[in-house]
Amino acid sequence: MTRQTKKLTILSADFAVGTYLTPQLLSMAKTLGYASVINTMPAPDSVLEDIGANALANNARNCGMEYHQFSVGNIGIISEDDIAGFQDLLDELPKPILAFSRTGLTATALWAASMVDTMDWEEIVMSAERAGLDISFLINSPAVPSLSKVA
């Protein structure tokens, strides 16, 4: 089911990941039917980054999409609380959902960890691989403790 659409990578029927979003990509996502955006980039460290994040949030809302900032720092410090919070967003937000991070890896890792109870791990890994992202390292990583149950 995974396919790439320009800079969007569709991982499931109701979830896609992307890298840095632009107004054009948001507009394309809306045209494709995406209803929500989750920004998993680290919290802005400068005024310029904060202005950019606010502009992106406004662009998403102007496209009629819900927008949520969900900063986790980086892949090495994702916690069980982060995974639970991300799962809550997946459960609550209108679908389909587009999540993004710098390379797409953090957004994909959060999705993967959130799907462990509902999807087969091999299917999750294959979806990410077809997207060009290798998340197999997560299986034994203390960064994503919930995956230890699939080892």
Give me the mean pLDDT over the 121-132 stretch.
85
Q: Where are the domains of the chain?
A: 3-150
3-state per-residue secondary structure call for 85-136 = HHHHHHHHCCCCEEEECCCCHHHHHHHHHHHCCCCCHHHHHHHHHHCCCCCH
Model confidence pLDDT, tens digit, residues 30-71 = 999 999 999 988 766 555 466 577 888 898 999 899 999 998
Q: What's the predicted TM-score (pTM) here?
A: 0.84
Domain 3-150: top CATH class: alpha beta
